[in-house]
């Protein structure tokens, strides 16, 4: 038995925000693969749950007229992986989705829950960071769009205000059109594992030079993060082994890796330098550039 | 706190009040006696408690009983025919000797049943991936994979549709 003292469910977003406004103690539950595990471990107790599982509209994935990709917060990882739109325009997110957990977990775990759980190891996070995702947060009174980089405040802490629900993840066309990307999850096993390091890179080329490079890292610090120093360096540089190596080196400066039982700080920094280069080399090819040898 | 839900298990309809604290696993085992659904880790890692909900595999230990409202659930007890004849998937597991202690077997048979029923084609890598949510501590998985391949005969393809597999494949080759 889970330590649940109250349970209610909403069928629409407005119903959910109304319930949440009435009772700020309600804890939102989506797929439950984080919330129930925390209850099992005794990290959270005597919980009043508000289930979002019956809000069907929140599970949709679509492309808006202006090209913005809109992912409903309740879309499961299985749905994200199999979605034809996402596979075509942002495969770094579908690859991240398939790397998470195992099939039964992916069938229920949601991308919104993954983000709101606030873990640096969230498998969707490095790609969403690299894609400049915006999060739509809705409360009874207001609605706002928050860049994902401002959403993660610390380990397990996110910028949801009391009464707010994450309803959609937006990725604007300017952030994916013309880009090539690559996602690498480095873990001890091919499935059912938490990343030692996750790297997501997108790049856009202008002839033989970089126009834009964006690098998202997971498990390289207390929250997912971007490698801004490397990203500022890249534009205008020739696409070459040397510039890619420099980007890898600069990426380490943004990492705030620490030693944990999974890996040491030094090893993680080594992984950042190496995997950023590998991911970028593939991203270059995916962006229409020539393969670097 | 209790909540009334209506659902079916292996085609049999139920309608009663469940405790909101109960997991689907607890409801199936303790209340309804479907003890073929095993409790392993309790946190969705081992897959022993897997059941099919509307034909899709889920870990029943981290699925609240109240969520079963309106769902069709299949447990291992519902896989063989009523007369006791084993399903093709079960036969394949027997033929390949894919069972040792048997604790992971209900979950693996159910997931394989879902794959066989999907009508989709799977590569061997995809098949491994689809079974990766089940831990077996006895067999070393070879006989399980053989049984799954046998169950999906004619639906194993060599196409590689996802860059993830290309990456994995290249890594294995290299």
**CATH code: domain of residue A159:** 3.30.465.10
Percent of chain A exceeding pLDDT 70 equals 100
CA dihedral A33, A34, A40, A43 (to 10 degrees): 180
Chain A hits for B131, CB-CB cut-off 8 Å, are: 103
Same domain, A81 and A166: yes
Q: Give domain status of residue A75, yes or no.
A: yes
Higher pLDDT, A191 or B160: A191
pLDDT at position B61: 98
> Quick check: A51 and A7 in contact, CB under 8 A?
yes
Q: Does B4 touch chain A (CB under 8 A)?
A: no
Residue range of the domain that includes B67: 1-78
CA distance A245 to A253: 13
B-contacting residues in A 33-62 (Cβ below 8 Å): 33, 36-37, 40-41, 49, 51, 53
Tokens 């994450």 belong to: A166
Chain B hits for A190, CB-CB cut-off 8 Å, are: 129, 132, 168
CB contact under 8 A, B1 and A6: yes
Q: Is residue A188 predicted with pLDDT exceeding 60?
A: yes
What is the count of structural domains for chain B?
A: 2
Nearest CA in chain B to A101: B133
CB contact under 8 A, A104 and B133: yes
Same domain, B101 and B72: no
Q: B162 CA to chain A: closest CA distance, Å?
A: 8
Same domain, B127 and B156: yes
The CA-atom distances, in angstroms, between B59 and each of A160, A215, A275, B39, B116 are 29, 34, 33, 10, 19
Same domain, B95 and B71: no
Same domain, B59 and B92: no
Chain B hits for A53, CB-CB cut-off 8 Å, are: 67
Report the pLDDT averaged over residues A199-215: 98
Q: A41 CA to chain B: closest CA distance, Å?
A: 9
Report the pLDDT averaged over residues A221-225: 97
Full pLDDT tens readout for chain B, 174 residues: 999 999 999 999 999 999 999 999 999 999 999 999 999 999 999 999 999 999 999 999 999 999 999 999 999 999 999 999 999 999 999 999 999 999 999 999 999 999 999 999 999 999 999 999 999 999 999 999 999 999 999 888 876 555 545 555 565 554
CA distance B60 to B52: 9
Q: Is residue A122 predicted with pLDDT exceeding 90?
A: yes
Chain A hits for B1, CB-CB cut-off 8 Å, are: 4-7
Q: Does B111 touch chain A (CB under 8 A)?
A: yes
- Burial (0-12, 13-18, 19+ Cβ within 10 Å), B8: middle
Phi, psi of B19 (to 5 degrees): -75, 135
Q: Is residue A79 predicted with pLDDT exceeding 90?
A: yes
Q: Quick check: ipTM above 0.90?
A: yes
B-contacting residues in A 81-100 (Cβ below 8 Å): 91, 94-95, 98-99
Which residues are CB-neighbours of A144 under 8 A, at least 6 positions away? A136, A137
**Optimal mutation site among A102, A275, A282, A291, interface B, most CBs of chain B within 10 A:** A102
pLDDT at position B154: 87
State which of A27, A51, A75 marks the end of a domain: A51
With H, G, I as helix, E, B as strand and everything else as coil, classify residue A215.
strand
With H, G, I as helix, E, B as strand and everything else as coil, classify residue A57.
helix
The CA-atom distances, in angstroms, between B71 and each of A21, A240, A279, B7, B19 are 30, 55, 42, 5, 17
Q: Give domain status of residue A291, yes or no.
A: no
Phi, psi of B46 (to 5 degrees): -95, -25
A123-140 pLDDT, tens digit per residue, is 999 999 999 999 999 999
Q: What is the DSSP string of A135-202?
A: EEEE-SS-EEEEEHHHHEEETTEE-PPTT-EEEEEEE-HHHHTT-EEEEEEE-SSSSS---SEEEEEE
Same domain, A85 and A14: no
Q: Report the half-sphere exposure of B36 (CA within 13 A, side-chain side).
A: 18
CB contact under 8 A, A98 and B163: no
Structural Rg of chain B based on CA atoms: 17
pLDDT at position B126: 93
Output b/e per residue, A151-165; b: 16+ Cβ within 10 A: bbeeeeebebeebbb
Same domain, A61 and A162: yes
Q: Considering chain A, what is the average pLDDT of its residues?
A: 97
Same domain, B131 and B119: yes
Tokens 């790609």 belong to: A127
- Burial (0-12, 13-18, 19+ Cβ within 10 Å), B119: exposed
pLDDT at position B167: 52
Q: Does B141 touch chain A (CB under 8 A)?
A: no
pLDDT at position B156: 87
Same domain, B158 and B105: yes
Q: Does A190 touch chain B (CB under 8 A)?
A: yes
Same domain, B113 and B138: yes
CB contact under 8 A, A103 and B130: yes
pLDDT at position B173: 58
pTM of the model: 0.95
Q: Does B57 touch chain A (CB under 8 A)?
A: yes
pLDDT at position A187: 95
Angle at A218 between CA A284 and CA A261, to 5 degrees: 130
CB contact under 8 A, A7 and B44: no
**CATH code: domain of residue A11:** 3.30.43
Same domain, A103 and A198: no
Same domain, B72 and B86: no
Same domain, A9 and A89: no
Residue range of the domain that includes A247: 180-286
- Burial (0-12, 13-18, 19+ Cβ within 10 Å), A64: exposed
Q: Is residue A153 predicted with pLDDT exceeding 80?
A: yes
């Amino acid at each position: 038995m889970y330590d649940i003292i109250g349970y209610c469910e909403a069928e629409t977003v407005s119903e959910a925000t109304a319930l949440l406004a009435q009772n700020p103690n309600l804890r939102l539950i989506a797929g439950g693969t984080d919330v129930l595990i925390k209850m099992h471990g005794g990290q959270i107790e005597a919980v009043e749950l508000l289930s979002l599982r019956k809000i069907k509209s929140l599970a949709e994935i679509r492309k808006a007229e202006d090209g913005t990709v809109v992912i409903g917060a309740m879309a499961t990882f299985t749905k994200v992986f199999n979605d034809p739109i996402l596979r075509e325009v942002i495969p770094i997110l579908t690859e991240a989705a398939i790397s998470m957990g195992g099939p039964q977990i992916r069938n229920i775990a949601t991308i919104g829950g993954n983000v709101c759980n606030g873990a640096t190891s969230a498998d969707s996070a490095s790609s969403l960071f690299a894609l400049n995702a915006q999060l739509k947060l809705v409360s009874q009174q207001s609605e706002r769009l928050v860049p994902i980089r401002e959403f993660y405040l610390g380990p397990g802490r996110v910028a949801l205000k009391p009464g707010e629900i994450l309803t959609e993840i937006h990725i604007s066309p300017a952030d994916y059109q013309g880009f090539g990307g690559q996602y690498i999850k480095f873990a001890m096993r091919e499935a059912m594992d938490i990343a030692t390091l996750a790297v997501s890179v997108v790049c856009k080329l202008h002839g033989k030079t970089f126009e834009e490079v964006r690098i998202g890292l997971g498990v390289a610090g207390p929250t997912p993060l971007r490698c801004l120093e490397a990203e500022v360096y890249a534009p205008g540089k020739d696409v070459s082994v040397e510039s890619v190596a420099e980007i890898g080196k600069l990426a380490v400066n943004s990492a705030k890796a620490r030693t944990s039982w999974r890996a040491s700080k030094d090893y993680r920094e080594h992984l950042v330098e190496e995997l950023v280069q590998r991911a970028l080399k593939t991203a270059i090819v995916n962006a229409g550039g020539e393969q670097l040898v | 706190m209790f909540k009334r839900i209506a659902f079916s298990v292996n085609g049999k309809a139920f309608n009663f009040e469940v405790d909101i604290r109960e997991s689907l696993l607890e409801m199936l085992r303790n209340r309804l006696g479907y003890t073929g659904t095993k409790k392993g880790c309790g946190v969705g890692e081992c897959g022993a408690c897997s059941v099919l909900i509307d034909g899709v595999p889920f870990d029943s230990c981290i699925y609240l009983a109240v969520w079963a409202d309106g769902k069709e659930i299949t447990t291992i007890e519902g896989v063989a025919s009523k007369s006791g004849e084993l399903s093709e998937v079960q036969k394949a597991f027997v033929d390949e000797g894919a069972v040792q202690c048997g604790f992971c077997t209900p979950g693996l048979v159910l997931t394989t049943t879902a794959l066989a029923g999907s009508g989709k084609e799977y590569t061997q890598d995809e098949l491994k991936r689809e079974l990766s949510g089940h831990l077996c501590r006895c067999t070393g998985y070879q006989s399980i994979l053989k049984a799954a391949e046998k169950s999906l005969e004619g639906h194993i393809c060599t196409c590689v549709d996802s860059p993830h597999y290309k990456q994995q494949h290249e890594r294995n080759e290299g």
